[in-house]
Amino acid sequence: MIAALDFGILGKMRPDATLPLLAALTFALPALTAACAPSGPGNAPPAGKAVAPHGTPAPPAASAPAGLGGPAPASAASSGAAAASARGAPVGAPSPAAPEPAPSISADDAEAILFPDDAAAHRDGIDACRRGNAGTAAAPSPEHERVRCLLALRYKDDRQAAASATALFDQNGSVAGLEREHLMDGGYRGMLHLVPELPVRAERRHLEWTVSAIADVDAFAADLAAAVSSPVRYRHRALALRYFRSVRARTPSAYASGWTIAYNLSGSLHRSADAVRETLFHELFHLNDGAHGEWSHAALAPIYDGIVARCGTRISCLTPYSPNETLVKGGTYYSFQPGNGVAEYAAELAIRYYREQRAALRGERLAKAPFKCGPPENARAWSLLAGEFFGGADRVAPCREGAPANR
């Protein structure tokens, strides 16, 4: 498979039909970086990476409430001690830590995601959603209902799309809205004009593919969590999904920052439900990698650097080590293309992990030998990735003794 490259999270890229990698690495929008400030500590975008346009609000990542892990209020501590004494437990035993709240998108942020440039034209409807109703103890919160109202307003011209967008929000907390119109520096290809466009009517399949992809990742994470005692720490909920079209171009297919993924309705990668699912998983990995303090740079760089030192760009040497088969036109494996760096190797490894674990959970046969059963570097990288993000889960069968390297 021969492909050139697209750009993704903060300039970290997935393969595309026409855009060479080294040019893609120049897609920084430094003047816009402040608009895409990460929503949590340790998620600062690396220098020289493409970012979302100015004014794009980043939905907040899950954050611990003030005081999480600190001393409980006196009344709570007293009642907890009394309960422990009644159970016969030592009064001085520490209470379990409160669970971190699930990430969510506020109604104000949802309004900005759904109406980034044309709120004035919809002011009456937006205000009506804001007034809403008081809600009851048994009904969804007014905040939740306001977002559902805003979704109905945004998608009022396509009832099927409105139902899909609402189901996505109800089930996953993600909001499918619009990117802002802006110009993106496309390197040697010049400036790319990106315009907002909803995935409705003839383009509704893109929304449906997105909904299906996110539901699949939800189920995947739940299945892994049920199989391990350690937490699965791979955020896949409460995302801002911003749809757009590139004028007279098919790149970028997707890019992401601050728990926001921008999706190109004319992107060259978005040709099928499976392709969209894996592209979104790739983007999600970059977001999670950033939220874990650019984990891939610290954890996988020694493995990656050792492989590159041994093989350079020689395809025959790199074949056993590359998580996926994609080649850069005129270059080498996408996972090891000079300039891509360890973050892209890690994202491709994440896709291979997702693909193989998903097959194992479904009882499906793998199309090729398990990645971890190749050279020792593969097994180490596999284990590190699984431990950091997926609770150490590995449902793929153990490697057979004396099995040949994965080629």
How high is the pLDDT of residue 59? Answer: 38
For 240, the enclosing helix (H) or strand (E) is strand 240-246
Q: What is the dihedral of CA 202, 207, 209, 210, to 10 degrees?
A: 160
Name the 3-class secondary structure at 52: coil
Summarize the chain as % helix, strand, coil (round to 5).
45, 10, 45
Mean pLDDT taken over the chain: 80
Residue 116 near residue 58 (C-beta atoms within 8 A): no
Q: What is the mean pLDDT of residues 230-241?
A: 97
Residue 10 near residue 43 (C-beta atoms within 8 A): no
Nearest to 9 by CA among 31, 23, 27, 22: 27
Residue 304 near residue 378 (C-beta atoms within 8 A): no
Q: What is the mean pLDDT of residues 8-17?
A: 46
Residue 269 near residue 15 (C-beta atoms within 8 A): yes
- Quick: pLDDT tens for 349-373: 999 999 999 999 999 999 999 999 9
Looking at per-residue confidence, does 11 or 374 come out higher?
A: 374
CB contact set of 277 (below 8 Å; sequence gap of 6+): 209, 212, 213, 216, 217
Instruction: For residues 121 and 108, give the distance between their C-alpha atoms in angstroms, rounded to a whole number.
Output: 17
Q: Give percent of the chain above pLDDT 90.
A: 65
Instruction: For residues 258 and 42, give the distance between their C-alpha atoms in angstroms, rounded to a whole number.
Output: 12
What's the pLDDT band for 320 if we cut at 50, 70, 90? very high
CB contact set of 224 (below 8 Å; sequence gap of 6+): 232, 357, 361, 390, 391, 393, 395
- Quick: pLDDT tens for 178-210: 999 999 986 556 799 999 999 999 999 999 999
Task: Note the Cα 254 to chain centre separation in Å.
Answer: 11
Name the 3-class secondary structure at 219: helix
Residue with tokens 């993704």: 8
- Quick: pLDDT tens for 44-102: 333 333 434 434 444 333 333 332 223 333 333 333 333 444 444 444 444 444 556 88
Exposure pattern of 261-278 as b/e (b: 16+ CB <10 Å)? bbbbbbbbbbeebebbbb
Residue 373 near residue 328 (C-beta atoms within 8 A): no
- Quick: pLDDT tens for 136-194: 555 666 999 999 999 999 999 999 999 999 999 999 999 999 999 999 986 556 799 99
- Quick: pLDDT tens for 23-46: 333 333 333 333 333 333 333 333
Task: Tokens for 129, please give them.
Answer: 């959603």
Nearest to 177 by CA among 236, 259, 261: 261
What's the pLDDT band for 120 if we cut at 50, 70, 90? very high
Name the 3-class secondary structure at 258: coil
How high is the pLDDT of residue 25? Answer: 35
Looking at per-residue confidence, does 268 or 27 come out higher?
A: 268
